[in-house]
Structure 1
Amino acid sequence: MSFETEYGEISILKEIAELLNEGTDPKEVLSGVLKKLLHVTGLQTGWIFLMDEQGNHQLIADEALPPALAHNQKQRMCQGTCWCVNKYNNRQLNKATNIMECKRIEDAIIEKAGKTCGLTHHATVPLRAGQERFGILNIGSPNKTHFKKNELALLEAVAYQIGTALKRIKLTQREQETALVAERNRLARDLHDSVNQLLFSLSLTARAGVEMTQNDEVKQTFSYIQDLAQEALGEMRALIWQLRPLGLENGLVSALRSYAEMLGLTIKTKIEGASSIPGKVEETLWRIGQEALANCKKHSQTSHVYLEFHSDKSGVTLLIKDHGCGFHYGEQHDIPSLGLKNMKNRTEALNGSFHLKSNPGNGTEIRIHIPI
């Protein structure tokens, strides 16, 4: 379909708006929109980069990439830089524009990386909503070296729609996270007011039973019940902490220190840097720290733990280590437990790096770095 007519442009914008209003997953939404845009305009190739505040780009969607760009799991698209990315990062890309030639294609030709299928040029459009910027949309077609003004205007209109949709998705995710925190707080209150009080009453009753009876077997039974109730109380308090980190308002390290003390651990801490941490990063480090400290309590056979926290403009690093029994582990091996895998997954979900080091008799060290 050509998009020369005004009616055609309105029809294209309507179809794309319908797609953008349906989804909440950015990757799924943008892949569908890109495919639809190429289909209705008759163009062939496109890709979308999402950009973070540090200028790093992520290939979030692509369609019909030539072999030279798709080679080796699209590594050429996922790494390195190019003219359109540089213009975006330098804030020189404020509207739809013709990029005379594609640097990634040029490099692929020089390196003889595969067929380019006649693709040499593309148009580039920034994705934004108001003053908030999200990334860039690139559109090209074999042997097409120039985009007309009306073509660029349509691509810019589509890009505005995409930017608005990304803003909506971001706000929706934030609302969901806020609702989740509120629900966790409610559940923590309910557990504290009901189950926690029942366990405390059971412990007191068992203690009274020990003091009231003269029968040794009955004493042992009540003592056993009291021990179980105390253990369950400890587990319940830990669970309530995990649901509602009451100390987090005083800072991550303060919260982890209090959690360690609640577990009966002796913790030594070191803090470097004082830059603010995004809420999502702080929440992730809190969950990872809880899991790491709980592992120390359960498995390390020591009650002494060292925690180091470093923060600067590039990111935050959290290190937790003990000098306990340790275990056999090498970088080439799979991570041995579900808890450790969860820590790694949480870290990598925020584009962070997770490092585990452990040897029998030499303790365990976990180091997490998350960019901000």
Structure 2
Amino acid sequence: MPIESRNEEMILLKEIAELLNEGTDTSDVLSGVLKKLLDVTGLQTGWIFLIDDHGKHHLAAAEALPPVLADNHHQRMCHDDCWCIDRYNKRKLNKATNIIECKRIEDVLEEGAGDTGGLTHHATVPLRAGHERFGILNVGSPFKTHFEKNELALLEAVAYQIGTALKRIKLTQREQETALIAERNRLARDLHDSVNQLLFSLSLTARAGVEMSANKEVKQTFSYIQDLAQQALGEMRALIWQLRPQGLENGLVSALRSYAEMLDLSLETKVTGAASIPGKVEEALWRIGQEALGNCKKHSQTAAARLFVHISHDAIVMTIKDNGCGFQYEENHEIPSLGLKNMKVRTEALHGTFQLKSKPGSGTEIQIQIPF
């Protein structure tokens, strides 16, 4: 290989390493690296699929795709599998592969759906760091049907850098989540040890004032202060529960049952199946369950609810139902409250599905399904 070519490759790898080391947002990092790779190598088109442990892919970055593949928010790239993803999921894609005819492009040509701009093939490279796998890098150019060995070697080097950066970002996010939980626990302890105790003392003092005072108006004032203190104490305890879920170490259902007791809400529970639930999923379901039970207490005009949890080897389904007053809601319409919207956002952030059913006089049902 000519010295000039080697120098160019070293410069490219250095610049890509700098981009990867500086970035913390996966989407921005992958887009920047892909653009840099195409600019330097002279290749025109590229895209990156990130693939989860269940083989589900999503388009994480794309550069200069033919319009027929970029239209409708990259619909053709986001749905259905293709040969490269199939080979990756079957663990038959372990190194840079010279050329793969693109099934998505072939489908376009067969359907006469649009112009591919001469793009018919692409090289594909797995993104790895050690034994961890993250997805694939695909690159190509119009009418290019062959990659030289040195081109494939360069793509493998870049792919390894990307894989290593993705692992670093993943570890960083995990550390941030751990730090956030620790900070929530610290704040919960501070609230319990200071504000919570002050409110409790205020309630006792007001109660003593009621018993000691002979003046009717003074008694009413102290009684009003006691009621306010008790109300504030209840809200403070609920806030502490939200910050630090006491009992979650005993499982999601146990924690939600305890939370319902704190709300003076009768909760019937049923659990089917068994599997280890990832911490992130359990935390999300805990927050969603809190919001749902809080809504039951505040809005349903009933003091009872039912909780059903079904756990399989790769997903969990949680359903919370009440037989309260319900409200008018049609499926596919805008969700009517911020709390319900937050539940949906939490669910979809983990690639889950959120279903809401409610009718006046027929109660409300919320069902959350999250894969893991």
Q: TM-score, normalised by structure 2?
A: 0.98
Q: Secondary structure at the match of 1:268?
A: strand
Q: How far off is 1:246 after superposition?
A: 1.7
Question: What is the letter of the counterpart of residue 254 of structure 2?
Answer: S
Query: What does residue range 223-372 of structure 1 map to in structure 2 within 5 Å?
Result: 223-372=223-372
Q: Map Cα deviations across residues 170-223 of structure 1 (whole Å, 9 max, x no partner).
A: 000000000000000000000000000000000000100110112221111111
Question: What is the letter of the counterpart of residue 180 of structure 2?
Answer: L
Whole-angstrom distance in 2 between the partners of 1:268 and 1:345: 26
Superposed CA RMSD in Å reads: 1.2
Matched, 1:76 2:76: yes
- Unpaired runs of 5+ residues, structure 2, are none
Whole-angstrom distance in 2 between the partners of 1:88 and 1:261: 49
- The corresponding residue for 2:221 is 221
Matched, 1:170 2:170: yes
Contact kept in structure 2, 1:188 and 1:243, CA below 8 Å: yes
Q: Map Cα deviations across residues 247-274 of structure 1 (whole Å, 9 max, x no partner).
A: 1110001000000101110000000111
Whole-angstrom distance in 1 between the partners of 2:352 and 2:235: 30
Q: How far off is 1:144 after superposition?
A: 0.4
Contact kept in structure 2, 1:71 and 1:113, CA below 8 Å: no
Number of residue equivalences: 371
Q: How far off is 1:229 after superposition?
A: 0.6
Q: How far off is 1:71 after superposition?
A: 2.4
Q: How far off is 1:3 after superposition?
A: 11
Q: How far off is 1:138 after superposition?
A: 0.2
Contact kept in structure 2, 1:3 and 1:151, CA below 8 Å: no
Contact kept in structure 1, 2:266 and 2:303, CA below 8 Å: yes
Runs of 4+ in 1 over 2 A off after TM superposition: none
Matched, 1:6 2:6: yes
Question: What is the letter of the counterpart of residue 73 of structure 1?
Answer: H
Q: How far off is 1:4 after superposition?
A: 7.5
Contact kept in structure 2, 1:202 and 1:229, CA below 8 Å: yes
Q: Secondary structure at the match of 1:100?
A: strand
Contact kept in structure 2, 1:84 and 1:99, CA below 8 Å: no
- The corresponding residue for 1:184 is 184
Q: Secondary structure at the match of 2:317?
A: strand
**Compared CA separation, residues 316 and 77, structure 1 to 2 (3 A):** same
Whole-angstrom distance in 1 between the partners of 2:30 and 2:113: 27
Q: How far off is 1:352 after superposition?
A: 0.6
Contact kept in structure 1, 2:326 and 2:361, CA below 8 Å: yes
Query: What does residue range 135-146 of structure 1 map to in structure 2 within 5 Å?
Result: 135-146=135-146
Whole-angstrom distance in 2 between the partners of 1:128 and 1:339: 39
- The corresponding residue for 2:48 is 48
Whole-angstrom distance in 1 between the partners of 2:4 and 2:137: 20
Contact kept in structure 1, 2:49 and 2:61, CA below 8 Å: yes
Q: Which range is displaced more, 324-333 or 228-237?
A: 324-333
- The corresponding residue for 1:58 is 58
Question: What is the letter of the counterpart of residue 293 of structure 2?
Answer: L
Q: How far off is 1:332 after superposition?
A: 3.4
- The corresponding residue for 1:105 is 105
Q: Map Cα deviations across residues 88-132 of structure 1 (whole Å, 9 max, x no partner).
A: 000000000123311110001111111100001100000010000
Whole-angstrom distance in 1 between the partners of 2:341 and 2:184: 23
Q: How far off is 1:68 after superposition?
A: 2.0
Whole-angstrom distance in 1 between the partners of 2:262 and 2:339: 20
Q: Secondary structure at the match of 2:101?
A: coil
- The corresponding residue for 1:197 is 197
Question: What is the letter of the counterpart of residue 142 of structure 1?
Answer: P
Question: What is the letter of the counterpart of residue 268 of structure 1?
Answer: E
Contact kept in structure 2, 1:3 and 1:9, CA below 8 Å: no
Question: What is the letter of the counterpart of residue 22 of structure 1?
Answer: E
Whole-angstrom distance in 2 between the partners of 1:154 and 1:309: 49
**Compared CA separation, residues 82 and 225, structure 1 to 2 (3 A):** same
Q: Map Cα deviations across residues 298-328 of structure 1 (whole Å, 9 max, x no partner).
A: 1111110100001112311110011111111
Q: Secondary structure at the match of 1:135?
A: strand
Q: Secondary structure at the match of 2:58?
A: strand
Q: TM-score, normalised by structure 1?
A: 0.98
**Compared CA separation, residues 265 and 187, structure 1 to 2 (3 A):** same
Question: What is the letter of the counterpart of residue 205 of structure 1?
Answer: T
Q: Map Cα deviations across residues 49-72 of structure 1 (whole Å, 9 max, x no partner).
A: 000111010100000000221122
